[in-house]
């Protein structure tokens, strides 16, 4: 019997902390050895001339979420898995919804059932939109016991936003339970007010979506989310930072020692508000929240990435098709922007876009690319070193990446359920030629070969970096002394 | 007939922009002339060896406000006038309340009637706690037509706080009407949450008042108040800044061109959180909101004053007696801090404290003192140059100030209705020996001589510095373009 | 005999701290009274419809400076006086040179003689380019006794720059003697190095002057000048700030309590580096140091002015004619930029440019204009309240200003000795129609009427704001403790 | 024949990016494999219960430097090697001196000869104290061809400091040649001036060393070093940052995209200025430059470490014995501080101090510790991944570290030539129990076993991160446009 079940040979292995030319020996779905030469393997994959990267970890994806009205968003775990593998991503953290007036446990069980049908490995963020005692004190501890270790809250959206009081309750519960809290930071009241004013003035086209939520609205909520987390002494991650002024609030907080992390997404590095002004309702394809800004903002965000202020790039994959009864054009091409579902798909495009715009164009290094897309999200989400790392004992989630391949993006290449990609026609340099998930080849040359139902749930441990400073209840013990 | 009705002679006249030894000729209650020598006056006051300052303008006082339960706070316009004159202040901006579910016009009329009984000159801030359409669109324009040009909103307190939505409505209305908005910046939900936690933990003594509202709570609300004002493009003044981290948010906004001003009060320059821990419920005498911080914070605030970040020092005179049925001890000496009415009196102590701690101790110059206490509030509130200035045409509101007089503060010297002063026993250097209001001596050596009913209402013009940038309704026209 | 020798009647008097319609009574060259109506005056000037401003104080002018080679710069006190009066300026602080290897006393005496021939009132900055013991310990105390209270040092220029060691010696001497130190902040070595590289690369045209001294060179020297002044605890003023990044260093220092002030000049608010690229050697007319930047920088500087970071606008009048044996073209039209004398004239243009670009275009208020051009420089230089103020006892230096007059600038209007103005053809709104110096009309409708030899030397007192903290020699006593 | 020459088995391998329990297979002095289980090795070291770290990389050590007077500093490569191994360090970057008036090639050859006698692996920084054309244009290219890729300049010290002109020449040469420049940032003139004032005032004791160079002196030079590097577009590392205000200048520069890195040393995290005031002449033992600050500064530096502003902790090992003819007391116990040689030893103490104060006390994580002491310096100095990394192909430089061992530091444990350690008596938690250099055990339980002469020179490649932006000579091509 061979020493290893599989060997990946001859690639340049990039761990996020330097590269080394070496072979990888895999057994039982895990990395069993890294060595200059692994001869004794049952099977071999040749990686000459290719980079070998840890499988992408996408810590911000919306997949198959049921809605209160009984419908379900169109991207299923099956289609999402294909899309992820096609783009070099092997695990995700996606969302379990909570509907106001309902609990979370049932939704969690339902989502486990749904996710079991896919091929991706997955962990869950539990959305909290109704932080009742029952949810926080009875259901959440059960979820945590199952290994759900991050909560998601929204500071905007009619159906989802929390008041500060609700957000504080979630922070305090997270602190008790050892969870991370992730936050969508935009000011609900401000957006509502501006939206009303715009619509009243007859300014309804897709491009006014951006007008309804300018950067100051994001900066305000970012500062508030951080300040309240400081009060409770609870770590948070700020999701999808779209502009430097919001990122600067994160930087300032980090500089004073606050445990806050920042994420951005490819759409904020490549799309602009002007895209929403494309003719004939096409603009709706580029609507997401926060809204894309302008090209100068892209460069400022790259600088924030290089500074480490933003250390995760995820997709916020959350698309709706353009056509169809639940599509962006569901209410017709004259629908006011408020009524157009927003979100853009990006599960497959994330790595190619970031590699091409980042590494190939010299804005970031290969090390930074790997950390942004795999190591950092895995570590922050408590998935490392099982995920996001190429080291002995880690899951053998690997991507064979051709750094020179030039590809023109099309929706077909995305392999998702959505009928368009906002990146249609963009040319990228760098492309995944094969993807391995736990030692099995699940994608080769665009062909996805995994069996439905092979994805694994990823339970997580308590966060090591969450060290309560005191002993009283509800975060109160963290209260700084009055003079502070 | 003499050329002038009155001459103030031989003093060092301090205008806030240098000092000059000259005489002041007064006729018809106004300054008619400044000259090296005014010989021809019907009456003469000798000011040799004294400073002659513009009468203090206290732009933040709570006087005779009726409460929803039918009671009225104990400081009447009569007693407040005596206290103000005793301390060298000649005009105030005080508050017209709004009770939830009620309008503002009736309260305004009532407050005009009340104020007419005093001797002080007065303008009004209209508090908005319930920004209905009726209030904003029907009543407020009438108030503005009467010359009420500033609104006050609270971001905390059970009965008063506005949500962001309400605050935005007030900002937009103020912008339409040409008013200034003044803001109490503390986060309501955060204070409520912490208060609950403290009381649940049995931490009820007065000192826990400070624990319930640490600086981060103030900084958060300050940033938010500014950010939403930026969105609407509406000038605001942040009231009673107690700590450098909140002031720094103001400084940052000023540096990016936002029209925001900051005020602080003597209590934040002299009292500390430790005062609230004095034995035997004495601590309750020092409770106000925001809470006093510590001595290091005092020095940081002085620096913010020298930088011009905080350019007004008002009293926030808002006291309750210690004893009595509406006093701080009304619920007994074991009452939890939440139930103790807060606020401290300071109308009479403001100038002596600021002169002594500021000028006499070398922290600020005499020019800065005059600007902080008279010129700046008068200008910001639209009362200058009628008030706050010693110039031809201005009201002859003058204080004769002995810069060397040393006085130990007692409650009797304060001449207010409240039964204590938090500054009892403090020794100050510098003291008002006479006060003139519109050319009449209203205080001399502590004796207040004005007749009740002689105070005048001060109607105000639209703010010159409020220039709407556009033409659409409701502040929308001020909407920055999406990329901003 | 009339009560006053002269009355200025019916104008809007603008003191920098509000405006009032009043008359001004003048006797003995001083303001004797401000009053609603001054009837009894020997002479009367009607100012209906005009602003009455304090005469401009230009605290940074090069006039009639002799050079080591025996020549003298072409602007004499006579021509400079005419130019100043034509532009509404009535007093200046100009420079006494020091040549390396020489002392300062003789130069001071010589400059007093020269200045006595003009009509302007004047004070002196003593340039220190060779800070020997003899100069600092023997000559400077004599100068200070004469009322010279400010020193000027250069951190660049071949013949003038001080090393840090020399600068520290000057700071320490200034501290002992109670003088202000003003500083030209650009890094000598860096400019020399870049100039060499540019010339070696054949890049010699005037526009490369800007390339030889980019903003970072100014920012560096600004931070250094401030840091060393902090070390010695000696107040300084940073001259002619041309860019926001240098101004930001001043702002940071002010925020930490350092006594540092910043000045800018009209050329940095109106000219750009592109002007130096005008065809046919015309660019040389716009060369000064620091170099003009770009239009975006103008707006950033206006913001720094509004913030108060830059609180004086002077002219740095230091021009050379374009033609002539000492002119900019003295070495021919192909001369490398290094050999072109730099500096631009601005004595007459300063107030019109600042009023027009500032007040008329809404960037600053009238109050700010008066403070920037008169009150602030007078106060900082120890000339207030005799100069820069309209108050009883001050010199009756007044400008009658027509805020609506539109004028196209020409060199003839400048009335200086130089054969060009960099502002030729610019249209301004606002113009001085008459100038009074110590109660005498010295300019009316462009006609200068003062007699040569009537200018007065302005001796100054020790700086009130320079308070040594300790007692040891040489600034050492100001040494912060090691931990600071 | 066994597959591997040596296996390290059962340890927790800490790479700086997570830990994994795995075995390490070593052949030919390099890491040949990382695997869950390596059975087939000729030799085995058991590491159960221990951490396995990459050998420490100390990028700032003074070893066996000859002086112009013919003497040599007492720490030889032999003793330094023993000290390094005893403390878990396996490679260093040390200094080749340059004496004014001399070249560098001969010194380099000499230093290669000296270093060949030790056991440590080594690279060189070339000190430039006399940047003549001959040195920069003829000798340096030869050194670079040998693999010397970093230069060291001093902005202070009588015999070593460069003027700005000299520093600019070095920066430009480094840019042409692809070298890093490291900088000692303190202002020479300021220190000289203060030292003179202190000595003149009779303040001569060791503690006045700190008074002679307060933080502002370091901050000034730090900003200047960075600004001039920005001008030339040349990467630099700022050495031994001792205070937050200097670190903040680095942080600001990093935020604007400047390629600047910051280093600190254990002495700035553990010693204070008060140590220099110990009785007798003991204070001299703690003298180094910059001077130790106070305990509050330690915490600020830790925060700068956590922020990543300071990302290398080296020793600046540069001690002198206390006794002896070249010792600190060479001029007697009354010697003025200026005449006491300064520098403290720290080669052996570096890792234990940083682990104990950092990891054991919860200030940094184990990952951060490894990066600060091995990965970051190796990467920045161009030694990674051969050094500083545990990955296939890297040199098998390993430390077996007992994280729980408590040790009281003594000079004997340091195994250096110097007769004292400033850390005498400090108790640390965490200790190296064995050190491997290129696969050979060179220290076990304090016993150093390597053969003299076994250390290897480490030639380095051009810096990957140094990408000239243009093509002209001397950095000029990097000139920002004038408006920038």
- Residue D32: the pLDDT is 97
User: Which among C306, C307, C384 has CB closest to B18?
Assistant: C384
The number of residues making up chain C comes to: 484
The stretch D433-460 carries a mean pLDDT of 97
Q: Does A334 touch chain D (CB under 8 A)?
A: no
- Residue B464: the pLDDT is 58
**pLDDT-based confidence at D467, cuts 50/70/90?**
very low
> Using CA atoms, how far apart are residues A292 and A295, in angstroms rounded to an integer?
9
- Residue D464: the pLDDT is 58
What string of DSSP letters covers D358-411?
IIITTSS-HHHHHIIIIIHHHHHTT-TTTSS--STTSB--EEEEEEEEEEE--H
CATH topology for C56-382 is: TIM Barrel (3.20.20)
Nearest CA in chain A to B242: A483
**pLDDT-based confidence at A465, cuts 50/70/90?**
low
**Vertex B157 angle, CA B151 and B160, to 5°:** 40
Indicate the average pLDDT of chain D. Answer: 93
Query: Is the pLDDT higher at A355 or at B481?
Result: A355
Which residues, in sequence order, are CB contacts of C378 under 8 Å at separation 6+?
C54, C57, C91, C384, C385, C386, C387, C388, C389
User: Which among C188, C201, C483 has CB closest to D273?
Assistant: C483
pLDDT for residue A391 is more than 70 = yes
For D170, phi and psi rounded to 5 degrees?
-70, -45
Indicate the average pLDDT of chain C. Answer: 93
The stretch D297-305 carries a mean pLDDT of 96
ipTM of the complex: 0.95
pTM score: 0.94
E runs forming strands in D198-334: 236-238, 260-264, 310-313
Nearest CA in chain A to D248: A255
Q: Does A163 touch chain B (CB under 8 A)?
A: yes
Q: Does B332 touch chain C (CB under 8 A)?
A: no
- Residue C359: the pLDDT is 94
Q: Does A20 touch chain D (CB under 8 A)?
A: yes
CB contact under 8 A, B32 and C35: yes
- Strand B427-437 vs strand A180-184: parallel, antiparallel, or unpaired? unpaired
Q: Does D107 touch chain C (CB under 8 A)?
A: no
| Percent of chain B clearing pLDDT 90 (strictly above) | 90
Q: Strand, coil or helix: what is D146?
A: helix
The stretch B181-194 carries a mean pLDDT of 98
The stretch C212-226 carries a mean pLDDT of 98
**pLDDT-based confidence at A44, cuts 50/70/90?**
very high
- Residue D472: the pLDDT is 31
Neighbours of C133 (CB within 10 A): 9
CA distances from residue D12 to A17, A93, B461, C459, D25 in whole angstroms, order as listed:
18, 28, 75, 78, 14
Residue with tokens 């006491």: D340
- Residue C68: the pLDDT is 87
User: Which among B20, B32, B255 has CB closest to C391?
Assistant: B20
- Residue A472: the pLDDT is 30
pLDDT for residue B452 is more than 60 = yes
pLDDT digits (tens, 9 = 90+) for A292-307: 999 999 999 999 999 9
In D355-394, the residues whose Cβ lies within 8 Å of chain A are 362, 375, 379, 384-385, 389, 391-394
Q: Strand, coil or helix: what is A12?
A: strand
CA distance, residue D298 to nearest chain A CA (Å): 15
- Token pair, residue B477, equals 């026209």
| Chain A residues within an 8 Å CB radius of D393 | 20-22, 36
Q: Does C303 touch chain B (CB under 8 A)?
A: yes
Q: Strand, coil or helix: what is C245?
A: helix
pLDDT digits (tens, 9 = 90+) for B237-274: 999 999 999 999 999 999 999 999 999 999 999 999 99
pLDDT digits (tens, 9 = 90+) for D377-426: 999 999 998 999 999 999 999 999 999 999 999 999 999 999 999 999 99
The stretch A92-104 carries a mean pLDDT of 97
pLDDT for residue C471 is more than 70 = no
What string of DSSP letters covers A226-288?
HHHHHHHT--EEE----SHHHHHHHHHHHHTT--EEEEE-THHHH--GGGGG-TTTGGGGG--
Give the residue among B231, B174, B167 at the shortest CA–CA distance from B477: B231
pLDDT for residue A425 is more than 50 = yes
CA distance, residue A430 to nearest chain B CA (Å): 30
Q: D185, D206, D227: which to substitute to probe chain C, counting the most C Cβ within 10 Å?
A: D227
- Residue D259: the pLDDT is 92
- Residue B475: the pLDDT is 36
Which secondary-structure segment (H or E) carries A220?
helix A215-232
In A246-275, the residues whose Cβ lies within 8 Å of chain D are 251, 254-255, 257
The stretch B230-242 carries a mean pLDDT of 96
| Chain A residues within an 8 Å CB radius of D394 | 20
Nearest CA in chain A to D382: A18
- Residue B66: the pLDDT is 95
pLDDT digits (tens, 9 = 90+) for B24-43: 999 999 999 999 999 899 99
CB contact under 8 A, C201 and D168: no
pLDDT for residue B343 is more than 80 = yes
A4-53+385-405+414-448 with A56-382: one CATH topology?
no
Neighbours of A406 (CB within 10 A): 12
Given a contact cutoff of 8 angstroms between Cβ atoms, the answer to whether C43 and C33 are in contact is: no
CA distance, residue A13 to nearest chain B CA (Å): 40
**pLDDT-based confidence at D360, cuts 50/70/90?**
very high
pLDDT for residue D359 is more than 60 = yes
Q: Does A419 touch chain D (CB under 8 A)?
A: no
Separation of first and last alpha carbons in chain A = 65
Q: For chain C, what are the domain ranges?
A: 4-53+385-405+414-448, 56-382
Q: What is the dihedral of CA A181, A185, A188, A190, to 10 degrees?
A: 150
Superfamily for domain range D4-53+385-405+414-448: Urease, subunit C, domain 1 (2.30.40.10)
| Percent of chain B clearing pLDDT 70 (strictly above) | 95
Task: Work out whether the CA dihedral C453, C454, C459, C460 comes out positive or negative.
Answer: negative
Query: Is the bond preceding residue B287 a cis peptide, omega within 30 degrees?
Result: no
The stretch D3-24 carries a mean pLDDT of 95
The stretch B136-146 carries a mean pLDDT of 97
Name the DSSP class of B176.
Answer: H
| Chain A residues within an 8 Å CB radius of D36 | 32-33, 392-393
pLDDT digits (tens, 9 = 90+) for B349-359: 999 999 999 99
| Buried/exposed code over B144-182 (b: 16+ C-beta within 10 A; e: otherwise) | bebebbbbbbbbbeeebbbebebbbbbbbbbbbbbbbbb
pLDDT for residue C479 is more than 60 = no
Indicate the average pLDDT of chain B. Answer: 93
| Residue C134 exposure: Cα atoms within 13 Å on the Cβ side | 10
Nearest CA in chain B to A233: B216
Indicate the average pLDDT of chain A. Answer: 93
**pLDDT-based confidence at B1, cuts 50/70/90?**
confident
């Amino acid at each position: 019997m061979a020493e290893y079940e599989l060997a990946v040979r001859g690639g340049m292995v990039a761990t996020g902390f330097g590269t080394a030319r070496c072979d990888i020996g895999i057994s039982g779905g895990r990395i069993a050895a890294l060595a200059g030469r692994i001869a004794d393997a049952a099977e071999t994959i040749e990686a000459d001339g290719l980079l070998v990267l840890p499988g992408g970890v996408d810590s911000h994806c919306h997949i198959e979420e049921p809605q209160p009205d009984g419908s379900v968003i169109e991207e299923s775990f099956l289609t999402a898995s294909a899309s992820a593998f096609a783009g070099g991503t092997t695990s995700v953290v996606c969302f379990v919804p909570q509907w106001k007036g309902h609990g979370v446990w049932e939704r969690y069980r339902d989502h486990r059932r749904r996710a079991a049908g896919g091929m991706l490995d997955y962990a869950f963020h539990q959305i909290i939109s109704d932080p009742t005692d029952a949810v926080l004190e009875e259901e959440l501890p059960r979820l945590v016991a199952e290994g759900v270790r991050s909560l998601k809250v929204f500071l905007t959206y009619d159906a989802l936003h929390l008041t500060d009081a609700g957000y504080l309750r979630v922070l305090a519960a997270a602190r008790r339970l050892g969870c991370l809290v992730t936050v969508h930071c935009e000011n609900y009241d401000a957006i509502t007010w501006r939206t009303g004013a715009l619509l009243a003035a007859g300014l309804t086209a897709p491009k006014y979506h951006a007008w309804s939520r300018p950067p100051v609205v994001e900066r305000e909520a970012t500062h508030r989310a951080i300040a309240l987390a400081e009060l409770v002494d609870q770590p948070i991650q700020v999701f999808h930072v779209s502009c430097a002024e919001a990122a600067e609030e994160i930087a300032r907080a980090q500089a004073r020692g606050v445990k806050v992390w920042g994420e951005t997404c490819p759409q904020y590095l490549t799309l602009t508000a002007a895209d929403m002004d494309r003719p004939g309702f096409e603009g709706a394809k580029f609507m997401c929240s926060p809204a894309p800004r302008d090209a100068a903002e892209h460069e400022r965000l790259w600088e924030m990435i290089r500074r480490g202020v933003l250390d995760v790039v995820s997709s916020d994959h959350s698309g709706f098709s353009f056509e169809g009864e639940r599509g962006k054009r569901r209410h017709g091409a004259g629908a006011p922007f408020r009524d157009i579902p927003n979100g853009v798909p990006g599960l497959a495009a994330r790595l190619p876009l970031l590699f091409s715009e980042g590494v190939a164009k010299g804005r970031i290094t290969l090390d930074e690319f790997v950390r942004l897309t795999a190591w950092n999200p895995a570590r922050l989400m408590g998935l490392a070193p099982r995920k996001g790392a190429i080291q002995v004992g880690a899951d053998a989630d690997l991507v064979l990446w051709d750094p020179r391949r030039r590809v023109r993006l099309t929706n077909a290449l995305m392999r998702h359920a959505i009928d368009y990609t906002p990146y249609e026609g963009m040319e990228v340099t760098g492309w995944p030629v094969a993807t391995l998930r736990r030692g099995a080849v699940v994608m080769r040359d665009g062909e996805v070969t995994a069996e439905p139902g092979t994805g694994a749930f990823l339970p997580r441990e308590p966060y090591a970096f969450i060290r309560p400073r005191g002993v009283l209840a509800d975060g109160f013990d963290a209260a700084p002394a009055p003079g502070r």
